[in-house]
Structures are given as C-alpha cells and as structure tokens.
C-alpha cells in the first residue's frame, strides 16, 4: 500500500472518530473535511446498495424518531436507512409520547437515551432541538426545524456532486423565501464546500442575518462568495444549480395569500432559468406546489434532478447514522 493511500485512510479514520457520537444539528457546525467525508461515505453506501451488498454497520442499533411535523421523505428515508444498515427505527409522534403531555424536553431526552442509540427529531423551534441535544447522551440528528434542514442539504450536495463531478467553484442560486430552513442550510452547506451562493428574495423575506453573515465567513475561508439580492435575474445569472422551496411551509398556511403575492415574481420558470447556465440542474426538497414556486415544465423537465435528490436523502442519512452511531 502506497504512503498516499495510507494517509488517505488515516485521514478518513480520524474524521470518522471525530464525528462518532456527535450531534448533527447544522451544517455550519461541521468542518468542510467532515462534510466531504460524509458525502464520500454516502456514495460508497449507495454503491453497495445498488450492487446488493449487505450492510450491517448498525446491526443491533435502534434509532428513535420524534416527529412534531409530518413527513414523507424524512420518515421513510431514516427508517429504511436504519433497516438497510441492519438496525431498527421507532416512530414516535409527539402526540403519542409524554412530550406531548407536558413532560420536559430534558426528561424525555434523558429517558430515551437509555433506550436507543440515536435520536432524529423533526420539530418546529430550533431551540427545542438544541435543548434536547444538550440533555441527550446519544447522537441527535436534525430531521428539520424552522431554522435549519441540514439532512436535506447533505442530500442536495450529494446530488450536485454526482451530477456535476465537483462542488467547489460552482454557483448555487436559491430563489424564493430566503428566511426558511432550506435557504439557511444551503447557505451554510454550500459555503462550507466552496460553492458560490446567491439568494434572491423579496423585501421582508431575507435570510436570517446571523446565518447569512456566518455563511459569508465560511465562503471567505474557502475562497468563494455568498451574496443576497432582491433581483432573481441577478442571482440566477450563470448558475450551475437552481433551488427553490414552497412559499408557505408548515405552520405558515395562514400567510399563504400574502406570500403568494409577494413571491410571485420569484417563481422558477423557463423565462427565469434562461439566465442560468445551459446545463444547470434544478433542485427542490419536495413536496412541491407546481405552478406556484416552480412551473411544471421546470420540475418535470430535463434539467430537474428532484427525484435523484429525494433518493439521496436515503444514502446521505445512512452515512450520517453509520458514522454518528457506530460502535
């Protein structure tokens, strides 16, 4: 074995050891090398699964999954991922456990830590997730909060890497509501891996200021850029990747009419995408509202990679669970 190969293996082992037992709450908390390592692990696990090679990395392990927000992709991908890794997953609706009857977050975290080997939470307030992780003795994974959606963006980065063969130096454009969990995690994750990020949103829908400034710092360290504009044409110019999300997320249904009016000029359609590179790819975390934030001709068109992206939730999260919950 060459010294170069030995060094790579040693580096991977160190990264794995460093991540083992850690929480996964935001992409901003990870080092760029850790994100790349997780992506490489995801690709390796995906390749094994496609070849039918058995995976028993988490045999005998159990993941507890707490849901305060409903889900399709998050629940199925985490549950199937655990099964494919030889482990088990338990679905825990917040309405059915004592958390929904007034038990404190800290008590629930301490009790569940005695039963399971890892906990995934899909909830509203990011502060609740942080409090849970503070009191849990096992790895806690952010399945989604109102502020961040890092598991989804890890899958997005995996999809971009597969489609484009690289991350650093590419331009990612996010158009729509900039003050949502997808925009925030894309800002952090893409900046950490050296992508240039441009966000376009109307007034009143700008990204969280602290997260945006941190993303600019991350980008500066990687030699890339992060910018915000109210002009979607400026943001999408020469973009390699175009991303959007629903205009009204769970819990914002009462604002639907106002949001539709404010965000209408930010719809991703053929006219807007003419400003992107000819070989751009389109991503959307789903579920999508066709003819609202994106037209059918875009999401169902040849530049769309949304279903590859959805599949990659499974592979990216398997990598997360394998590394965080390993013995």
Which residue of the set 23, 36, 122, 216 is catalytic? 122
256 annotated among ligand-binding-site residues: no
Q: Is 151 annotated as a binding residue?
A: yes
Whether 273 is catalytic is no
Residue 108 to residues 86, 113, 253, 307, Cα–Cα distance (Å):
26, 8, 30, 35
Annotated active-site residue in 117, 173, 245, 259: 245
Of the residues 152, 214, 216, 317, only one is catalytic, namely 152
- Please say if 285 is a catalytic residue: yes
Q: Compute the distance between CA of residue 65 and CA of residue 286 in angstroms, rounded to an integer.
A: 20
Instruction: List strands edge to edge, sheet with 118-122.
Output: 88-93, 62-67, 118-122, 140-144
Q: Which residues pair with 228 in a beta bridge?
A: 199
- Residue 245 annotated to the active site: yes
Q: Is 150 part of any known ligand binding site?
A: yes
Q: Is 285 known to sit in a ligand binding site?
A: yes
Go through 304-316 and write b for each residue having 16 or more CB atoms within 10 A of its CB, e for each that does not: bbbeebbbbbbbb
Choose, from 36, 126, 148, 149, the residue flagged as catalytic: 149
Asked if residue 250 belongs to a known ligand binding site, the reply is: yes
| Three-state secondary structure call for residue 91 | strand
Q: Which listed residue (173, 313, 315, 317) is catalytic?
A: 313
149 has binding-site annotation: yes
User: 3 a known binding residue?
Assistant: no
User: Is 70 one of the annotated binding-site residues?
Assistant: no
Instruction: Assess contact for 241 and 306: CB atoms under 8 A.
Output: no
122 flagged as catalytic: yes
> Is 23 designated active site?
no
51 is in an annotated binding site: no
**Coil, strand or helix: which one is 202?**
coil
- Please give the annotated binding residues for L-ornithine, written as ranges: 181, 245, 249-250
- Please give the annotated binding residues, written as ranges: 71-74, 98, 122, 149-152, 181, 245, 249-250, 285-286, 313
- Please give the annotated binding residues for carbamoyl phosphate, written as ranges: 71-74, 98, 122, 149-152, 285-286, 313
So which residues are the catalytic ones? 122, 149, 152, 245, 285, 313
């Amino acid at each position: 074995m060459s010294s170069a190969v030995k060094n790579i293996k040693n580096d991977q082992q160190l990264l794995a050891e460093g991540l083992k037992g850690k929480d996964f709450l935001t992409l901003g908390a990870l080092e760029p090398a850790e994100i790349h390592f997780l992506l490489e692990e995801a690709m390796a696990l995906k390749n094994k699964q496609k070849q039918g090679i058995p995976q028993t990395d988490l045999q005998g392990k159990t993941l507890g999954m707490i849901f305060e927000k409903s889900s399709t992709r998050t629940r199925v991908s985490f549950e199937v991922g655990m099964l494919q890794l030889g482990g088990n997953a338990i679905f825990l609706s917040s309405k059915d456990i004592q958390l929904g009857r007034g038990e404190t977050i800290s008590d629930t975290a301490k009790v569940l830590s005695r039963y399971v080997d890892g906990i995934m939470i899909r909830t509203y307030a990011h502060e609740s997730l942080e409090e849970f992780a503070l009191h849990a003795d096992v790895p806690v994974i952010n399945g989604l909060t109102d502020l961040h959606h890092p598991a989804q963006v890890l899958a997005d980065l995996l999809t971009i890497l597969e489609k484009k063969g690289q991350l650093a130096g590419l331009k990612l454009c996010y158009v729509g509501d900039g003050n949502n969990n997808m925009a925030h995690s894309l800002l952090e994750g893409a900046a950490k891996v050296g992508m240039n990020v441009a966000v376009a949103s109307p007034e009143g829908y700008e990204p969280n200021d602290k997260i945006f400034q941190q993303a600019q710092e991350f980008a500066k360290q990687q030699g890339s850029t992060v910018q915000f504009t109210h002009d979607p044409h400026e943001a999408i110019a020469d973009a390699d990747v175009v991303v959007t999300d629903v205009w009204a997320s769970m819990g914002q249904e009462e604002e639907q009419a106002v949001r539709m009016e404010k965000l209408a000029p930010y719809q991703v359609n053929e006219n807007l995408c003419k400003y992107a590179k000819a070989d751009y790819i389109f991503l959307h975390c789903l579920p999508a509202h066709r003819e609202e934030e994106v037209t059918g001709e875009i999401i169902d068109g040849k530049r769309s990679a949304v279903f590859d992206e959805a599949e990659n939730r499974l592979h990216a999260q398997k990598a997360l669970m394998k590394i965080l919950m390993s013995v």
